[in-house]
Amino acid sequence: MTEIPELNGAAPAGFDYLIVGAGFAGSVLAERLASAGQRVLIVDRRPHIGGNAYDRYDDAGVLIHPYGPHIFHTNSTEVFAYLSRFTEWRPYQHRVLASVDGQELPIPINLDTVNRLYGLALTAFQVEEFFASVAEPVEQVRTSEDVVVGKVGRDLYNKFFRGYTRKQWGLDPSELDASVTARVPTRTNRDDRYFADTYQAMPLHGYTRMFEAMLHRPNIKIMLNTDYREILDLIPHGHLIYTGPVDAFFDHQYGKLPYRSLEFRHETHDRPQFQAVGTVNYPNDYAYTRISEFKYITGQRHERTSVVYEYPQAEGDPYYPVPRPENAELYRKYEALARAELGVTFVGRLATYKYYNMDQVVAQALATFKRLHERQMADLVEV
């Protein structure tokens, strides 16, 4: 029998909610439910809270993101205000360069990208005409290739998108849903920010500190290094909230949902700066897709600097649902099972097989809490 560890110094006496996963979805729901007076147990198989947004100091004393750079941005005032209860912020606008034809050029593609790449001196009005002249007509936009060639033509597609996408997804853009490349805008001005959201900032003291503040409540208990299945029948609980892979919950009975994973290779360098911006993409060279330097992102001052190389791979922790029609069809089978599962709520990127940004996961969790809370209040009225 699995031994039940101490839960933050408290003996397990039963919980209203058992939450599987201590990332954004699970932690936001734990905090909201606890604030409503519910007793919550949150379980994670990893040795830390925060999910993929977890950060820590490396051996050199540089604050890093072990699971790759996590840049917070949102247009939602509600989401930003909610997270602001648990952290102060440092304004940060992420900038990305792409290594193309021996130059490091702004991405998303903007006016400077085109002028520097082709040795031109176009104005904002002229670059619109340029894009129109090179764009290839696409009757019906279905794939990621259609999105890009229909906007900026074949040459820019090949230089900036095709190689990167093939490395990232292990598929040609012509085999992927249009949503993959539709996320990246094309600009006719000199705006070189990667995101254009209203709120762009990083937690002042890091994500982990933010999660610690979020979960610091007497009626939230945490179990780490724990597979929830090992304690499911051992600890009394009411409703289950599941944020892990939906196919794993149902023992892959229809087969595995395809994900892309990443290998992260971290390096520390004995100099204060490694590259010109927070992230440099490598769409056409090398096996890795990008290098990110954390001090840009965190704002930390340090005599050394740490970077991470990202190598996409088919196996490993599930990071990105692969957006293809056949995968969506397979997910619908699991979605039907999830809808029929009484006493369980499925929340988050893995549980709903969708690519969400962090703020979208927070918004989904807040909406889920409202539904659960309203249902609970209605049950109390009936009683």
Q: How far is CA 364 from the centre of its chain?
A: 13
- Residue 180: predicted pLDDT: 87
Residue found under tokens 């209860």: 85
Contact (CB, 8 A) for 125 and 114:
no
- Residue 326: predicted pLDDT: 95
Query: Per-10-residue mean pLDDT for the chain, 383 residues long?
Result: 44 82 98 97 98 98 98 98 98 98 97 98 96 93 93 96 96 91 89 97 98 97 97 95 98 97 98 98 97 98 98 95 94 98 96 96 98 77 49
Report the 10 Å Cβ neighbour count for 357. 18
Distance, in Å, from the CA atom of 322 to the CA atom of 258, rounded to the nearest integer, reads 6
Distance, in Å, from the CA atom of 84 to the CA atom of 74, rounded to the nearest integer, reads 13
Three-class DSSP category at 194: coil
- Residue 256 in tokens: 């595995």
- Residue 179: predicted pLDDT: 85
Q: Which of 331, 328, 306, 310 is nearest to 319 (CA)?
A: 310
Q: What are the DSSP calls for 174-197, one per residue?
A: GGSBTHHHHTS---SS---BS---
> Range(s) for CATH 3.40.50.720 in the chain?
15-55+206-256+322-382
Q: How far is CA 141 from the centre of its chain?
A: 25
Query: What CATH number was assigned to the domain covering residues 15-55+206-256+322-382?
Result: 3.40.50.720
Q: How many CA atoms within 13 Å lie on the side-chain side of 261?
A: 10
- Residue 374: predicted pLDDT: 86
377, burial (CB in 10 Å: exposed 0-12, middle 13-18, buried 19+): exposed
Distance, in Å, from the CA atom of 92 to the CA atom of 305, rounded to the nearest integer, reads 18
Contact (CB, 8 A) for 281 and 107:
yes
- Residue 310: predicted pLDDT: 98
312-351 as b/e, with b when 16 or more CB fall inside 10 Å? beeeeebbbbbbbeebbebbeebbeebeeeeeebbbbbbb
What's the pTM value of the predicted model, to 2 decimals? 0.93
- Residue 366: predicted pLDDT: 98
